[in-house]
Chain A
Amino acid sequence: AQTVTQSQPEMSVQEAETVTLSCTYDTSENNYYLFWYKQPPSRQMILVIRQEAYKQQNATENRFSVNFQKAAKSFSLKISDSQLGDTAMYFCAFMNSVDYGNKLVFGAGTILRVKS
C-alpha cells in the first residue's frame, strides 16, 4: 500500500518570502500522479499543483512549483512571494495511475501560516 508522509506539522513564513513544504511517499509503482491540495479555513479542498511521475520536468503554477525527485520519492512544494491568502493546510497526495478506483492517498498535512 502507498503511504504519504509530511514531516512538518506546522510552518510559518513572512509575507513575500519563500517557503518549502516537504513530502515523501512510498510506492513500488512506476506510473503515478502526485498532487498538492490546499485547504483554507473554509475547509474546501483546492488543487494547487499536479505532477505526473513520467515527466522529469518539475511542474510550475505561477508562484507554486514542485521539486520532484522520483528516485528519492520526494515531492516538495515551493511557494514564492508568499501571500496572506496562502495561509491554509496543505496536503500532499498520491494517486496510482493503474488503480481502477484511482483513489487519492493523503499525507497528514502541513499547516502554513503567512505572517504580515
Chain B
Amino acid sequence: EPEVTQTPSHQVTQMGQEVILRCVPISNHLYFYWYRQILGQKVEFLVSFYNNEISEKSEIFDDQFSVERPDGSNFTLKIRSTKLEDSAMYFCASRAGDYNEQFFGPGTRLTVL
C-alpha cells in the first residue's frame, strides 16, 4: 500500500540554524500539506501546496518558513533560522485530487536546542 514517507525521523539542531525536513508524498497525489504538533498540543496546519505553489498558509508560516517541490517527488519544508519554539513534530500529508482523505507521514520530530 502506498504511503507518505518523511526523513529524518528525528532532527536535533541549534537555535538559529537552518533545517530542511523532507517528505515523499504518495506518487499520484496532487495536494501536499505540512502540519505541526507541539508536544501535548493539537495538530496545527502550516501550509498547503498545489500545482507548484502555496495555496494557503497559516499565521505560523512566517518568512522563516518555505516549502518546495524540487524534483516532482520530494516535498520539503525549510526553516531558515530555527527558534526554540519550533520544537515540535512536523507531519507531511498528501491528498489525491479525486478523494478527500489526507494521508499522513510518520512525522519528523524537530528538537531545537
Question: In the complex, what residues of B have CB within 8 A of residue A99's CB?
Answer: 56
Q: Is the CB of B100 within 8 A of A105?
A: no
Instruction: Name the distance in Å between A100's Cβ and chain B's nearest Cβ.
Output: 5
> At the interface, yes or no: A104 with Cβ under 8 Å from chain B?
yes
Question: In the complex, what residues of B have CB within 8 A of residue A102's CB?
Answer: 31, 48, 95, 100
> At the interface, yes or no: A56 with Cβ under 8 Å from chain B?
no
In the complex where A47-B101, A50-B101 touch, is A101 in contact with B44 (Cβ < 8 A)?
no
> At the interface, yes or no: A74 with Cβ under 8 Å from chain B?
no
Q: Is the CB of B42 within 8 A of A43?
A: no
How far apart are the CA atoms of A99 and B35 in the complex, in Å?
A: 17
> At the interface, yes or no: B60 with Cβ under 8 Å from chain A?
no
Question: In the complex, what residues of B have CB within 8 A of residue A104's CB?
Answer: 33, 35, 43, 45, 93, 102
4 nearest A-B pairs in the assembled complex, by CB-CB distance: A101-B56, A101-B48, A45-B104, A101-B55
How far apart are the CA atoms of A50 and B37 in the complex, in Å?
A: 21
Residues 40-71 of chain B: 1 if any A CB is under 8 Å from the residue's CB, otherwise 0?
01111100101000011010000000000000
- Give chain A interface residues in 86-107, CB to chain B under 8 Å: 91, 93, 95, 97, 99-107
How far apart are the CA atoms of A44 and B91 in the complex, in Å?
A: 9
How far apart are the CA atoms of A100 and B104 in the complex, in Å?
A: 19
